[in-house]
Amino acid sequence: MFKSERDHRDAGTWDPSRQTVTSTICPYCGVGCNLELHVQDNEIVKVTSPFDHEITRGNLCIKGRFGWRYVQNRPPAVQGDGQARR
């Protein structure tokens, strides 16, 4: 179980009926693994891979499985004048 899923379950906010699943391709290497991003309240809560994918068969490497945290927790970019970019 992903830590984000566990945290939501502990807080009583885990609700699969409010989640959307978006399919994408992992950007970390050239293999082309499919990722399914599970998003709830505009937050990625877990990442899975389809069981029928011929390369991953439902498994992901360490980058594919946990790399989404980088996307989720990026600080805002700062311009040369110190102002946050949007």
Structural domain that includes position 22 = 3-72
Cα separation of 58 and 53, whole Å?
7
Residue 62: predicted pLDDT: 82
Residue 48 lies in a domain: yes
70: its two tokens: 């980088």
Does 85 reside within a domain? no
Helix (H, G, I), strand (E, B) or coil at 63: helix
Write the DSSP symbol of residue 8: H
Neighbours of 47 (CB within 10 A): 21
Count the domains in the chain.
1
Q: What is the CATH number of the domain that holds 8?
A: 2.20.25.90
Tell me: the pLDDT tens digits for 8-61?
Answer: 899 999 999 999 999 988 888 788 888 899 999 888 888 888 888 787 888 888
Asked whether the whole model's pTM tops 0.85, one would answer no
Higher pLDDT, 6 or 53: 6
Rg (CA), the chain: 15
